[in-house]
């Protein structure tokens, strides 16, 4: 009983300490993409608690060279290639419910403006586990076509997490989708003295909407794909048919709220 009381007091002290002293916070995450070509990456989450602003750097940061690795196999030979990441980021402005991100697709760079969605978290779990030194609790949600299981810690009472995940009573220490294709896991964290280097300003223009980016660039329709192929053929050559798996959506986000609205209409 005495031990439980001490643990509760320590937790309350930790919560009080974070709420009183923390203005800026930083966490480093390991990312694993179990896609057609498995990839591992490093990313950094930086939070400005007072202004309700966060930025998730994927790639090069001040103390991270952005090295990622790709593992594959060919003719019985397993190999890993290391390469330098592009400087990608996801910046979330909670005061205005907006997301600004730098995306790359087929060698082109796009600055995308998205909306912060309210995630419907299920917290009705008794499961607990430790991730590093952090005791974490289980939660689940659905986000743009994938089901996720998250582990959050009340020891760091910040409603932030990697990628676009947010809204839990504590920092998300780990989260993965139900197929274990995409996984983010915390590697380290600290209270940061310096304000995060936010990216959104006039330099990012022109911005395109998330709807335009995902509907027309990332996941174009079959007819749009055929038009692209046709445009690359010599004059006088007509495309009869094309077969591809390009219509299969393989990214983190694969279903969107505007598509549901169209179906309902």
Q: Does 80 have pLDDT greater than 60?
A: no
Kindly give, in sequence order, each residue whose CB lies less than 8 Å from that of residue 138, ignoring residues fewer than 6 positions away.
125, 127, 128, 129, 149, 150, 151
Per-residue exposure over 135-173, b if at least 16 CB sit within 10 Å of its own CB, e if not? bbbbbbbebbebebbbbbbbbbbbbbbbbbbbbbebbbb
Quick one: pLDDT at residue 221?
Answer: 75
**Structure confidence at residue 4 (pLDDT):** 45
pLDDT for the residue numbered 5: 47
pLDDT digits (tens, 9 = 90+) for 122-164: 999 999 999 999 999 999 999 999 999 999 999 999 999 999 9
Residue 3's pLDDT band, with cuts at 50, 70 and 90, is: very low
- Mean pLDDT is highest, among 7-16, 178-187, 202-211, for 178-187
201 in Cβ contact with 106 (< 8 Å): no
Mean pLDDT taken over the chain: 82
- Could you give the angle at the alpha carbon of 25 between the alpha carbons of 22 and 30, nearest 5°? 150
């Amino acid at each position: 009983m005495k031990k439980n009381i001490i643990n509760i007091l320590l937790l309350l002290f930790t919560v009080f300490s974070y709420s009183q002293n923390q203005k800026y916070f930083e966490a480093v995450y390991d990312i694993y993409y179990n896609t057609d070509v498995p990839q591992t990456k490093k990313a950094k989450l930086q939070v400005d608690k007072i202004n309700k602003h966060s930025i998730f750097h994927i790639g090069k940061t001040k103390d991270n060279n952005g090295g990622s690795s790709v593992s594959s196999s060919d003719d019985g030979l397993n190999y890993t290639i290391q390469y330098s990441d592009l400087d990608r980021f996801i910046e979330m402005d909670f005061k205005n419910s907006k997301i600004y991100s730098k995306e790359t697709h087929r060698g082109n760079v796009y600055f995308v403006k998205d909306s912060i969605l309210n995630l419907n978290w299920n917290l009705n779990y008794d499961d607990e586990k430790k991730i590093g030194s952090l005791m974490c609790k289980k939660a689940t949600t659905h986000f743009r076509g994938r089901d996720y299981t998250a582990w959050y810690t009340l020891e760091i009472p910040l409603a932030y997490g990697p990628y676009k995940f947010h809204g839990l009573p504590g920092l998300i220490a780990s989260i993965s989708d139900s197929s274990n294709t995409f996984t983010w896991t915390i590697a380290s964290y600290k209270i940061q003295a310096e304000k995060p280097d936010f990216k959104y300003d006039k330099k990012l223009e022109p911005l395109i909407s998330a709807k335009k980016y995902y509907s027309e660039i990332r996941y174009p329709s079959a007819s749009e794909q055929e038009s692209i192929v046709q445009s690359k053929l010599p004059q006088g050559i007509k495309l009869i048919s094309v077969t591809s798996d390009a219509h299969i959506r393989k990214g983190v986000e694969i279903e969107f709220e505007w598509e549901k609205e169209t179906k309902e209409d």
